Amino acid sequence: GAVVSQHPSWVICKSGTSVKIECRSLDFQATTMFWYRQFPKQSLMLMATSNEGSKATYEQGVEKDKFLINHASLTLSTLTVTSAHPEDSSFYICSATWTGDYGYTFGSGTRLTVV
């Protein structure tokens, strides 16, 4: 149980376009979802926390107008990278947690390359 599906696993886009990444909890209702960013050979940095039906909480230094997060249901959160630039190229990972227990389940990640 507790599976998080993340799509796409990789995407290449042109500079200036927008890209949407989906994160779905398959067998549980995710009260909270998290979006992380990981640069090569570095650890994960939390970008934002989203709760179903409310606005996301962004970490300091993360542009909320550039990284749009929507958590419209208890099983789906999306991250949209708007007007992507090469410096946005990175590995993006979502995770979800649920009530009744403590622990995280992570998606498989999305490799974004902006050319």
Partner 1 sequence: KQEVTQIPAALSVPEGENLVLNCSFTDSAIYNLQWFRQDPGKGLTSLLLIQSSQREQTSGRLNASLDKSSGRSTLYIAASQPGDSATYLCAEYQGAQKLVFGQGTRLTINP
Footprint of partner 1 on this chain (CB under 8 A)?
A: 6, 32, 34, 42-46, 49, 91, 93, 95, 97, 102-109, 111
88: phi then psi, degrees, rounded to nearest 5: -85, -10
Query: For residues 46 and 68, which CB has a smaller minimum distance to partner 1 in the complex?
Result: 46
Query: For residues 61 and 103, which CB has a smaller minimum distance to partner 1 in the complex?
Result: 103
- CB 44 to partner 1: min, Å: 5
The CA angle 70-93-65, to the nearest 5 degrees, is 40
- Tell which residue, 23, 35, 27, 110, has the closest CA to residue 72: 23
- CB 24 to partner 1: min, Å: 13
Q: Cα–Cα distance between 96 and 92 in angstroms, integer?
A: 14
- CB 77 to partner 1: min, Å: 14
